[in-house]
Structure 1
């Protein structure tokens, strides 16, 4: 293939995209996305062969890395056998996928309702909670993202909720975030205690018997990788138990290796009633998500119709990709790698960057799930302005690193298969950009 042909492919891709593709969360005339043609491991390329180190995992979902051969092979083999089948039928791949998933869940979780992604996983968990309890309200935090379907987007706390508030029965509260505490806390213990007091008062004010569930991201992701302080999640569980409220833990982003554990909640003293997942369960190779259901809730629908379903629930290609992905993650020690690389490489390297760059206000995270909070002033913790963050993002891409940038933060979220050498390569790029991108600013 000639250089001219390669250039033509990039040009054609851009032209077709501008002409026909409507991009999410974008003003269409301002969208100027990269062309991505191929990938392998922690790297992607455009048609011209320009390489990017993917420290975004796309949308924090490519946990196993790009083009893992075992997963690609499983999808190909399933496609040759049976490409699609109605969800009301029995399919071996679907049963095997469900078996692999519940094997990682706490005891008492035996069934999985499959969806097409994380948003409709949360949507259906909310439906199950309401039907099981006979109550209506769903409590969730302001700093959260739960997806872009009807109830999921209204459960979301960030700005995307506001133009989409068409669903009923949603109440928001503040979760813990010590760096920008809503509770004047100065220690993790204070933050947990005061955040729990706040939630208790919200429950009391809303009426406990009106609340079906509390919906939480175990570790809020898009909102800032907000690792919960010790005792917080256990305290939420206790409040739920006291009032007969279900606890739904959203593991869509944090699950399946991202925190260095199979589920993020494995690191905390908490057992949910419903678990939602997507992204890392098969690294997004085929769209899929689901709800893992505790047995008492599943039994609600033994003799009562569950009024929910999706044409592609348990799609065979997605199921085959789950089986292959989870088997490979186990046999290759990928979850252990995520934990170790976070402890020995990413965490120390980001702490070193924070020591040397005044623009970094805080670093937090675990596994391959980290946030670098950028500030204009460390004393006041004033967030770095959007224009400056935009320059940093552009400079990172220019130097061959794909970042995940949200508000005033860089989220350091490579695939779970990332190596120490790739971490060092990325840190050198972060270091260079933070040293040069803001030159001349006071």
Structure 2
């Protein structure tokens, strides 16, 4: 039977109809939703049933680091499904062990165990649990500009608006982290911002009572909050405070890990070793849901003769483990992490800086690797954020030009897969340029 163009159009309509009728979407008022229909993808592009193609500069939820439908990952999942589709976490499984070995091979020395979870939220949840049990303390300090997931303790650790309606977990304290462009500390230089943010953190620790604080939980580079690359010395200063007061340092690498910043782990660029590392997203580009916690030997030994009171039915699921093995191997053999670092330094960063120079609507550009934010303002002198209405227009205009953007508050996050090419970046920059020109006319 020959499939006509109308039949493909009908498939798009059917997908949209089923979605509207039966799918309840996260973080959304449901009535006005009209989600993009996606039927397939390859590399940095996705398309609908009718064949309309889009350049994916959101990496979906900043997770498709290795690109869509990488053949090695697809093959690994298929082979594992044919061999053993699932097995309980209490068993020993070769594929799971190989996945854990590859992850700890990229972690700092003295971190030799991995606890697998279903995703990033429950990775943070279990890291908090480990820190509390290891220290015998309760409180967790995290920043206001953060997102750590939508489970009990993870969402309350989160600092943004999504926390406010979900504050059911106990023992959470928030601080301001460094963000020089909108400094809470009246700083004018990165050095001032670092010093004053660390002083603020110290005072909160002292006032909350160090003996009751189990953990400091930070995204190494806060992602959804704005790709806030910490100033030199900040993470080292946090590490020093954690050591001084006997506090566990948890670095959340769920979004920023596995190539996103041009490093295997984002903290590698800052010379800091955490006690616990949480991961998900980029470890296998989300091909199968998975996350986990990389555990320091000191914390892992706490549970040598003591039961760890946590577990998940799908912890270390074989299909997820197979995709991790294939992903890490492919990223290493194909030089994907180095590619992301180089492209960020030589193509994306300079390209975005050129846009900032041309467009008054751009307040600041910041980032590393394939992890960038373009902050848009109505007035450069006051730094007033661009309105939600104009950000909505920016999203619609970019989609209309065949580019899927990641929009957060008054920012366009430039977060393509790590395998993006220089030509594809040029294509995206052309779309951004056209849309920023429209926005310039509105301010």
1:437 Cα deviation (Å)? 4.4
What's the counterpart of residue 291 of structure 1?
293
What's the counterpart of residue 431 of structure 2?
429
CA contact (8 A) 1:40 1:66 kept: yes
Give CA-to-partner distance per residue, 1:159-192, whole Å, 9 cap, x none.
Answer: 0000000000000000000000000000000000
Q: Distance in 2 between matches of 1:120 and 1:331?
A: 30
Picking from 300, 303, 322, the partner of 1:301 is: 303
CA contact (8 A) 1:286 1:321 kept: yes
Picking from 134, 140, 143, the partner of 1:141 is: 143
Q: Distance in 2 between matches of 1:311 and 1:112?
A: 16
Question: Is residue 2:169 matched to residue 1:167?
Answer: yes
| 3-state SS of 1:297 partner | helix
1:207 Cα deviation (Å)? 0.1
1:288 Cα deviation (Å)? 0.1
| 3-state SS of 2:106 partner | coil
1:2-401 matches, cutoff 5 A: 2-401=4-403
Q: Distance in 2 between matches of 1:311 and 1:436?
A: 50
CA contact (8 A) 1:217 1:250 kept: yes
| 3-state SS of 2:41 partner | strand
After superposition, the CA RMSD in angstroms is: 0.6
TM superposition score normalised by structure 1: 0.99
Give CA-to-partner distance per residue, 1:98-119, whole Å, 9 cap, x none.
Answer: 0000000000100000000000
Q: Which runs of 5+ in 2 are unaligned?
A: none
CA contact (8 A) 1:338 1:417 kept: yes
CA contact (8 A) 1:375 1:408 kept: yes
Q: Distance in 1 between matches of 2:213 and 2:139?
A: 4
Q: Which runs of 5+ in 1 are unaligned?
A: none
| 3-state SS of 1:276 partner | strand
CA contact (8 A) 2:361 2:440 kept: no
Give CA-to-partner distance per residue, 1:209-229, whole Å, 9 cap, x none.
Answer: 000000000000000000000
1:436 Cα deviation (Å)? 2.1
Q: Distance in 2 between matches of 1:35 and 1:248?
A: 37
